Amino acid sequence: MFAEIRRALIKIAIGGGIYYLLEMIVRGRSHWTMMLLGGACFFLCGIIHEKTEGKILIWQQMVLCMIGITILELAAGIIVNLFLGWDVWNYSTMPFQVMGQICVPFMFLWYIISYPAIILNEVFDNILQKQT
């Protein structure tokens, strides 16, 4: 059980770090909550792949990841932006947005990002399993 918790924390840290770095490169700024959210999304993509591998095609896994990421983004946005008022992101000017926290154009980005997230999760699983 300790190995599973360790593996999860490592993957969340790696995924969060990668997402934070991407935001810094693309937007020039980020927020520590994005590291947590990115890590959770990365970990979720790994779980979806692990549970559905061989049962559904990769593009279908990516759709599930996109939906899961969007749900996590909405939940985080409600807490971080609306409840706490930190204004980390605001999609209110984007088309097809909900409460300024999620929007369809970013859902397509989550779909695309989910593929490398799935592959990297698999790579890290292989590395981490060799260490135990």
Residue 99: helix, strand or coil by DSSP? coil
* pTM for the structure as a whole: 0.94
- The confidence score (pLDDT) of residue 21 equals 97
**Each residue of 90-114: pLDDT tens digit?**
999 999 999 999 999 999 999 999 9
Each domain of the chain, given as residue ranges in start order, spans: 2-131
- Tokens 């008022």 belong to 85
Spatial distance between the Cα atoms of 93 and 124, rounded to a whole number of angstroms = 37
One digit per residue, the tens of pLDDT, for the chain of length 132 reads: 788 898 999 999 999 999 999 999 999 999 999 999 999 999 999 999 999 999 999 999 999 999 999 999 999 999 999 999 999 999 999 999 999 999 999 999 999 999 999 999 999 988 887 775
Return the structure tokens found at 52: 């559905």
CB atoms within 10 A of CB 37: 24
Give the chain's end-to-end CA distance (angstroms, integer): 12
